[in-house]
Chain A
Amino acid sequence: MKDFRRTLLILVPYLWLLALFLVPFLIVVKISLSDIALARPPYLPQFSWADGIWSFLSQLDLENFAFLASDDLYWKAYLSSLRIALVSTLLTLLIGYPIAYGMARAPEEWRATLMMLVILPFWTSFLIRVYAWMGILSQEGFLNQFLLWTGLISTPLTILNTNTAVYIGIVYTYLPFMILPIYAALDRLDGSLIEAAEDLGCSRLSAFWLVTIPLSRNGIIAGSFLVFIPALGEFVIPSLLGGSGTLMIGKVLWEEFFSNRDWPVASAVAVVLLLILIVPIVLFQRNQQKQGDP
């Protein structure tokens, strides 16, 4: 009876994930190896028990991947997603670190409030936070109105529908993910180490550089992955803030599926994206595990 209960407890979530996570993913891999067809569903071959598994397998090929490799569009989209994700991760780090540092140095009684202020945007709709920037960055938007009013510029800048807007959007929406792990690392940091460094003749800046930064390394790494990984496959930000020149692979996959209705190519795009993501994901996992060890 006890064993039966335990088995049931394991089986229910296990089977759920097998059926709704692993199997769908295997279907994606299978369709990425299939050919597009004018049928419902629009790909071949369909699996049928009558033909047997070998005749089914023999119809699969790497044609879609060869197509991805031969068409510039996909190469450029992968590279430009990598570049956008990398640059925006660095920008988020540059902006997030001083904020996390300020929070860790704030008086004890403020910290809970500051923490809540960082978390609050995270509970607010992602879509709305991206949308908020559309009104700010457009030609007649608030930023241009403000800059024109100050006299810094004489003609409005074009920011919305460019890559700049995409960078701003990513930095803005993922900033809490960068601040929180760095704050956690800085909060644990023993202040007497910095005092010791200063007593031993370090200037404040070199104490920061030689003691604070290395000791918050784990927070920096965790935060950077938490921004980089989702930014790479981002769809909402490039499609609302980016322009026709903004190439990001999440958007390409979406259009391949919904506009071109080429399911096999969309699946191949997904498989390659996942292969690219495996490296940062494994590195992130290792960093997290290392952090868990004393």
Chain B
Amino acid sequence: MRLSWFNVTSLTLGFAFLYLPMVILVIYSFNESKLVTVWAGFSTRWYGELFSNEAFLDAAWVTLKVAVVSSSFATVLGTMAAYVLVRGGRFMGRTLFSGMIYAPLVMPEVITGLSLLLLFIGIGLDRGVLTVVLAHTTFSMCYVSVVVSSRLMTFDRSLEEAALDLGCSPWDAFRLVTLPIIAPAVISGWLLAFTLSLDDLVIASFTTGPSATTLPIKIFSAVRLGVSPEINALSTIMIGLVTIGVLTASLATKRNALRQKKDAQAAARAA
């Protein structure tokens, strides 16, 4: 298929729009000047300042801890929920259950944050790392469950049934047959939950206390007053990490697909 000039133009302009702002941010993070928009020569000064800023390092550490713990809980709970939704059959309150899985996906963050904060105050739970973890686990388990259940829906149920017929316990059938097949979806669910947690400003602002400032909260309070070169440096590091992650993941998927294609061809030749 050939590309018309119209399609080339819209793709070029579209991707320029998506990427130019980030490219400009990255370039200017290496600017010597404190005035962010005036170029004064190449320097890594702001990276140095960033790494000697204890408050940022502390916030980064808190954020990472929260993200790892909450995405792991969310993956377990979300996978359970997906399994219940797809394989659980009928049970009392199933409609309410699926409603509670989908509602948080469309709920404005300000409402989720407000409601959780009111709960934590109502039951007298001190706000800090624990409350942020609980909040993040709750909304990201719903994303995990959507990702995992779409995989569960497309996979051949007879494989599980065969394992059960051959004497596996339900748990063994899940562990030995189902889990390896849905593993890619579970992993992408974890990654999604992890990113959502790293990224969240609104819900964390509501549910955290003075003892646990996360990186987005720190960034938000720094940039409210305007552009800052240290935040440019921090953004560049974050953009870099995400780019490396996504590139690695897509290369791995590509290699897997190629290998599967080769295997299929080999099998076809053998047959």
Residues on A facing B (Cβ under 8 Å): 2, 5-6, 9-10, 12-14, 16-18, 20-25, 27-28, 31, 41, 95-96, 98-99, 101-103, 105-108, 112, 114, 116-121, 123-129, 131-136, 138, 140-142, 145, 172, 175-176, 229-230, 232-233, 235-236, 239-240, 250, 253-254, 257, 263, 266-267, 270, 273-274, 277, 281, 284-285
Contact = CB atoms under 8 A, between A and B. Distances in A.
Contact of A13 (B6, B14, B81): B81
The interface centre, meaning the residue of B107, B137, B141 with most chain A CB atoms within 10 A of its CB, is B107
Given A28-B111, A281-B106, A123 B83 contact: no
B119 A236 contact: no
A117 B12 CA distance: 12
A229 B145 CA distance: 21
26 contacts: A9-B83, A16-B77, A17-B101, A18-B100, A41-B122, A105-B3, A105-B7, A106-B1, A118-B18, A123-B245, A127-B201, A132-B22, A135-B25, A135-B37, A136-B24, A138-B226, A138-B227, A145-B37, A235-B110, A235-B202, A236-B202, A250-B110, A263-B118, A266-B114, A277-B108, A285-B102
Main secondary structure of the interface of A (DSSP, over half): helix
Contacts of A6: 88
Contact of A131 (B3, B11, B219): B219
B14 A125 contact: no
B199 interface: yes
Contacts of A119: 246
Interface of B: 1, 3-4, 6-8, 10-11, 14-15, 17-19, 21-22, 24-25, 28, 36-38, 77-78, 80-81, 83-84, 88, 91, 93, 97, 100-104, 106-111, 114-116, 118-119, 121-122, 134-135, 137-138, 141, 145, 170-171, 195, 198-199, 201-202, 206, 216, 219-220, 223-224, 226-227, 231-232, 235, 238-239, 242-243, 245-246, 250, 254
